[in-house]
């Protein structure tokens, strides 16, 4: 258990649960498109947020752009019942941070590799899109982390290549990955071990969203797709007869919110709001709502370039 | 199937079409504007502009559209230009389409017969008027299929706007597929939507092609061709021009005698040569050429040529191919440039103003119209998209500024004179060569030129059509007393009609004198040899 900041009172928690019901109903009824700003119910914000709004008045009433790669059901994807909406844990978390600081969000769908370039070009203000905060990526953006990373190894049913993780079991196998994913260099690094074992190096096919990677396994073009465990679980759930999760892998990273470098006020505000949301138990609730394991939660920390 | 139907009718996907169309329209509209400018630069007289346009084409035709999209979206903000996703995608598509559209425009402009441009120039039309009235109408007709292709390609290329987050059809399809895992139903649905859109472009293209089709008998009948159920009740207007084109070409009056009006008493009478020569000698000069010199790539084609033509005089220009006959005629109305010497028509120069400064192409056009030099070409050079009547009346409105009524009246007068009033509504391509050349003569005569230049007017005609054209020219000489300079291989015609004959060889006048004299008793051996060869050919033919 890594839950931290559980300083909320039972009373507050009960009140929150009640509010969740109303909040979800409100979210379900509000029809919003990517082009229109969203004004979620103010009731969802923890009390401490009032102080934060006083401390960071510049954000109040603003409409910010959140760049997402909406191909990750559970984190960010279209609502199949109302495709004009994006739904998922990341979307809810972003809305909660916005509620807390008094800004609203619109969404800009881009490829995974374009998330940080869009932020750098000023075409987006924030990125909350299941992106792992690595030192390399911190050269392009500052990160505030909110989850630990658990990866799953997605394979065809029966795991015909007997893949057991990012190790020599992958020699000669074909891995589908998205351009820019942290798993790519990890798999590439296996080449030396594979050579030493007298086996061919793993091959990587690069796509630009989860759906294409999953299709690559379904169509037999790739043997495995290693990505966020929840995404892998979602794929297995969608194709229980064709896919399975071979194993879980722990990676030494955290999932982070990316904000433009140098905008320290905004970064501090996001981090403070995230802390409050965690403390109030709201993040845990949201994770439960989206079936994310609770032990993935992690106290916010900064990942910055050296 | 249920899923497919669900997605085909899903508002989220259907509204994606709006963005797809928006990007396509932005790209095509911007691309057409920029493409027109680029084509203009490439065709311009100024080399620097052409080079600039070429450099643009190399860059934007040579790099992938996806990079251009990302550049407009993510790189332009770094120099302070922050466009919305739709603007950036529209701009990138326009930048990318421009060189392709420019090449379509350029190819179709170049594809318009150069002879028609020369004919427009000879009629005193300015470069702008030639572009607007002659080149553009024909180029636009022929570029419709290529532009249709380009529109379809732009529509499909708009899907790349998904990389810069424009919510168009492809982006919406992929996102929906990721959320629902219903890949195939969704992609089939969006594929069908693209097919409907490209199908619509194909239909628009067909409609435009039919509406612009010159062979369509009338606007009503053209519309009827698009509505098959309405086709039957439409009656074809009477007259030869309304028949199907195939029928027209076979039923032209080429085989029947040309319905020329009977010759006047004056024309029928044999000319009294001596009296005529005496009268002409007292007339003023219509044309003075002094020391004219010209060369192509350093090879001289005209060498210090001198020639005077008096008002009312008919001069026959003879000589073998390549002797410089055409070049001389083309110099007289400044269709060609020359290096040395002067040419004056009724005392005025066409190439320079009063102060001796060289005129611009536009200034030359005005000078041609003011001086009045008519020209008839070997290959007729009628404006292909205009009827016989419009070929004559059009230039009168555009150059001489006549009203439509006056111009049409004058055109009909002239067409009657050349015996073609009944073909007034026919297109050049539906007329025989002889008929076309008679229309061309009527067109050249329309503005009452001071001098008429005829460049081998019967050389491109089938033998049986030669006489109808020669008869028209003969009457002009005899009935109108028109000043004419005519290059021809028709020796007997020249002997019959011309007052003066000139034998040209290697760009110089070898022999000249009264036509009857030279053509019956040439003094120079080269003239004699030439006349003998032509006579043998005529006998063999």
Q: Which region holds residue B343: left if phi is over 0, alpha if psi is between -120 and 50, else beta?
A: beta
**Inside any domain, residue B235:** no
How far lies B353's CA from each of A24, A186, B293, B357, B358, in Å?
A: 86, 81, 20, 6, 7
Q: Cβ–Cβ of A123/B174 closer than 8 Å?
A: no
Q: How far apart are CA B276 and CA B311, in angstroms?
A: 12
Q: Are B181 and B137 within one domain?
A: yes
Q: How far apart are CA A183 and CA A180, in angstroms?
A: 9
Q: How far apart are CA A171 and CA A194, in angstroms?
A: 6
**Inside any domain, residue A4:** no
Last-in-domain residue among B448, B469, B493: B448
Report chain A residues whose CB lies below 8 A from the CB of B187.
none
Mean pLDDT for each consecutive 10-residue tract of chain A (306 residues)? 43 49 42 39 67 94 95 92 93 96 95 91 94 94 95 95 94 93 92 94 92 92 94 93 93 94 95 95 94 90 92
* Helix, strand, coil percentages, rounded to 5, for chain B: 60, 10, 25
Q: Are A128 and A14 within one domain?
A: yes
**Inside any domain, residue B236:** no
Burial of A57 (0-12, 13-18, 19+ CB in 10 A): exposed
Burial of B54 (0-12, 13-18, 19+ CB in 10 A): middle
A34 inside 8 A of chain B by CB: yes
What residues make up the domain containing B152? 2-226
Q: Are A225 and A110 within one domain?
A: no
How many other C-beta atoms are found inside a 10 Å radius of the C-beta of residue A267? 22
Residue B443 CA, distance from chain mean position: 15
**Contact, A5 vs A60, CB < 8 A?**
no
What residues make up the domain containing A48? 10-148+253-300
Write the residue in A109, A110, A123 that is nearest to B77 by C-beta: A123
How far lies B16's CA from each of A47, A80, A84, B93, B383, in Å?
A: 41, 16, 11, 18, 46
Interface of B with A (CB under 8 A): 10, 12-13, 70, 73-75, 77-78, 82, 85, 163-165, 167, 171-172, 174-181, 183
What is the pTM assigned to this prediction?
0.79
**Inside any domain, residue A29:** yes
**ipTM of model over 0.90:** no
Q: Cβ–Cβ of B77/A111 closer than 8 Å?
A: no
Q: Are B16 and B60 within one domain?
A: yes
CATH of the domain at A17: 3.40.190.10
What is the per-residue pLDDT for A8? 42
**Inside any domain, residue B468:** yes
Question: Which parts of chain B register pLDDT below 50?
Answer: 233-258
Q: Which of A33, A82, A84, A110 to mutate to test the interface with B (most CBs of B within 10 A)?
A: A110
Q: Are A19 and A138 within one domain?
A: yes
Q: Cβ–Cβ of A114/B82 closer than 8 Å?
A: no
Q: Which residue of B has its CA nearest to A78?
A: B179
What is the per-residue pLDDT for A31? 34
Q: Which residue of B has its CA nearest to A73?
A: B179
Write the residue in A70, A118, A215 that is nearest to B74 by C-beta: A118
- At residue B316, the 3 state secondary structure works out as strand
The token duo for B164 is 């810069």
Q: Which residue of B has its CA nearest to A238?
A: B181
Q: Are A71 and A176 within one domain?
A: no
Number of CB pairs < 8 Å for A and B? Answer: 77
Helices (H), B112-135: 114-122, 127-130
Q: Which of B178, B186, B189 to mutate to test the interface with A (most CBs of A within 10 A)?
A: B178
How far lies B418's CA from each of B252, B280, B413, B427, B457, in Å?
A: 16, 26, 9, 16, 14
Of the candidates B429, B423, B517, B436, the one whose C-alpha atom is nearest the C-alpha of residue B469 is B436
What is the per-residue pLDDT for B241? 45
Last-in-domain residue among B198, B226, B254: B226
- At residue B479, the 3 state secondary structure works out as helix
Q: Cβ–Cβ of B178/A215 closer than 8 Å?
A: no
Write the residue in A84, A117, A120 that is nearest to B12 by C-beta: A84
What is the per-residue pLDDT for B282? 85
Q: Are A44 and A133 within one domain?
A: yes
What is the per-residue pLDDT for A20? 47
- At residue B181, the 3 state secondary structure works out as coil
Q: Are A208 and A260 within one domain?
A: no
The token duo for B439 is 């229309």
Q: Are B420 and B491 within one domain?
A: no
What is the per-residue pLDDT for B266? 61
What is the per-residue pLDDT for B249? 43
A239 inside 8 A of chain B by CB: yes
Q: Are A140 and A174 within one domain?
A: no
How far lies A243's CA from each of A151, B176, B267, in Å?
A: 16, 21, 100
A84 inside 8 A of chain B by CB: yes
Report chain B residues whose CB lies below 8 A from the CB of A111.
163
Work out the angle at residue A100's Cα, subtended by the Cα atoms of residues A277 and A291, and round it to the nearest 5 degrees.
Answer: 40
Of the candidates A225, A264, A230, A256, the one whose C-alpha atom is nearest the C-alpha of residue A242 is A225
**Inside any domain, residue B238:** no
Strands (E) located in A56-199: 63-68, 71-72, 76-79, 82-87, 104-109, 126-133, 142-156, 174-178
Chain A: nearest CA to B159, how far in angstroms? 13
Report chain A residues whose CB lies below 8 A from the CB of B174.
71, 209, 211
Residue B424 CA, distance from chain mean position: 19
Q: How far apart are CA B102 and CA B108, in angstroms?
A: 10
Q: How far apart are CA A249 and CA B457, in angstroms?
A: 90
**Inside any domain, residue A305:** no
What is the per-residue pLDDT for B215? 79
Q: Cβ–Cβ of A71/B178 closer than 8 Å?
A: yes
Q: How far apart are CA B486 and CA B287, in angstroms?
A: 13
Write the residue in B75, B82, B179 that is nearest to A80 by C-beta: B179
Burial of B214 (0-12, 13-18, 19+ CB in 10 A): middle
CATH of the domain at B8: 1.10.3720.10
Q: Cβ–Cβ of A70/B175 closer than 8 Å?
A: yes
């Amino acid at each position: 258990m890594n839950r931290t900041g559980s300083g909320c009172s039972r009373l507050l928690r009960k009140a929150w649960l009640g509010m969740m019901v109303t909040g979800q109903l409100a979210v379900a009824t509000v029809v919003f498109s990517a082009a229109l700003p969203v004004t979620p119910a103010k009731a969802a914000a923890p009390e401490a947020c009032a102080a934060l709004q006083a401390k960071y008045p510049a954000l109040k009433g603003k409409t910010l752009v959140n760049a997402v790669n909406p191909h990750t059901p559970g984190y960010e994807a279209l609502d199949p019942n109302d495709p004009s909406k994006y739904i998922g844990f990341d979307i809810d978390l972003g809305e909660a941070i916005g509620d807390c600081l008094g800004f609203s969000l619109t969404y800009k769908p881009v490829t995974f590799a374009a998330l940080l370039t869009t932020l750098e070009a000023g075409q987006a203000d924030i990125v909350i899109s299941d992106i792992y905060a690595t030192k390399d990526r911190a050269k392009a953006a500052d990160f505030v982390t909110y989850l630990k990373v658990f990866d799953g190894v997605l394979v065809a049913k029966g795991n015909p290549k007997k893949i057991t993780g990012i190790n020599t079991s992958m020699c000669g196998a074909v891995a589908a990955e998205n351009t820019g994913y942290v798993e790519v260099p990890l798999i590439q690094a296996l080449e030396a071990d594979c050579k030493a074992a007298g086996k061919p190096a793993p091959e990587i096919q690069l796509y630009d969203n989860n759906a294409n990677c999953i299709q690559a396994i379904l169509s037999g073009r790739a043997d495995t797709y290693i990505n966020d465990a929840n995404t892998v679980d979602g794929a297995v759930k969608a194709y229980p007869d064709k896919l399975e999760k071979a194993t879980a892998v722990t990676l030494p990273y955290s999932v982070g919110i990316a904000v433009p470098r140098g905008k320290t006020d905004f970064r501090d505000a996001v981090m403070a709001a995230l802390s409050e949301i965690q403390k109030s138990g709201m993040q845990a609730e949201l994770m439960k709502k989206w079936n994310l394991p609770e032990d993935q939660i992690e106290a916010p920390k900064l990942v910055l370039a050296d | 199937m249920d899923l497919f139907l669900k997605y085909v009718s899903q508002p989220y996907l259907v509204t994606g079409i709006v963005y797809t169309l928006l990007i396509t329209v932005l790209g095509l509209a911007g691309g057409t504007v920029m493409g027109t400018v680029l084509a203009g630069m490439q065709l311009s007289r100024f080399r620097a502009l052409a080079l600039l346009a070429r450099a643009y084409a190399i860059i934007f035709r040579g790099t992938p559209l996806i990079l251009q999209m990302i550049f407009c979206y993510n790189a332009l903000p770094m120099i302070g230009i922050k466009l919305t996703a739709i603007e950036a995608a529209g701009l990138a598509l326009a930048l990318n389409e421009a060189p392709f559209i420019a090449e379509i425009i350029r190819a179709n402009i170049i594809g318009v017969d150069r002879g028609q441009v020369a004919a427009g120039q000879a009629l005193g039309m300015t470069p702008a008027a030639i572009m607007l009235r002659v080149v553009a109408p024909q180029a636009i007709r022929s570029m419709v299929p290529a532009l249709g292709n380009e529109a379809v390609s732009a529509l499909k290329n708009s899907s790349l706007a998904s990389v810069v987050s424009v919510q168009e059809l492809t982006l919406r399809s992929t996102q929906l597929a990721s959320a629902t895992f219903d890949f195939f139903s969704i992609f089939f649905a969006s594929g069908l939507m693209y097919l409907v859109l490209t199908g619509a472009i194909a239909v628009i293209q067909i409609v435009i092609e039919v509406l612009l089709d010159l062979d369509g008998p009338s606007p009503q009948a053209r519309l009827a061709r698009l509505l098959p159920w309405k086709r039957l009740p439409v009656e074809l207007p009477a007259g030869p021009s309304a028949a199907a084109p195939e029928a027209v070409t076979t039923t032209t009056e080429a085989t029947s005698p040309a319905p020329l009006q009977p010759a006047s008493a004056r024309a029928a009478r044999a000319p009294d040569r001596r009296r005529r020569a005496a009268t002409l000698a007292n007339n003023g000069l219509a044309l003075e050429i002094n020391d004219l010199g010209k060369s192509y790539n350093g090879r001289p084609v005209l060498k210090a040529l001198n020639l005077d033509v008096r008002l009312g005089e008919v001069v026959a220009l003879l000589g073998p191919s390549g002797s410089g006959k055409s070049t001389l005629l083309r110099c007289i109305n400044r269709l060609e440039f020359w290096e040395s010497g002067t040419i004056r028509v009724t005392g005025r120069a066409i190439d320079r103003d009063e102060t001796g400064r060289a005129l611009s192409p536009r200034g030359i056009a005005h000078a041609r119209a003011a001086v009045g030099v008519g020209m008839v070409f070997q290959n007729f050079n009628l404006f292909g998209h205009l009827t016989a009547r419009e070929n004559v009346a059009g230039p009168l409105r555009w150059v001489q500024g006549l009203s439509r009524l006056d111009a049409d009246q004058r055109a009909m007068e002239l067409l009657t004179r050349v015996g073609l009033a009944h073909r007034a509504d026919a297109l050049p391509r539906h007329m025989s060569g002889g008929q076309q050349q008679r229309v061309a003569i009527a067109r050249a005569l329309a503005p009452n030129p001071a001098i008429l230049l005829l460049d081998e007017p019967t050389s491109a005609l089938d033998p049986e059509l030669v006489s109808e054209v020669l008869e028209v020219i003969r009457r002009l000489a005899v009935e109108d007393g028109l000043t004419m300079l005519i290059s021809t291989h028709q020796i007997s015609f020249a002997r019959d009609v011309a007052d003066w004959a000139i034998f040209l060889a290697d760009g110089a006048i070898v022999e000249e004198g009264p036509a009857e004299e030279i053509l019956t008793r040439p003094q120079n051996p080269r003239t004699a040899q030439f006349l003998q060869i032509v006579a043998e050919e005529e006998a063999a033919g």
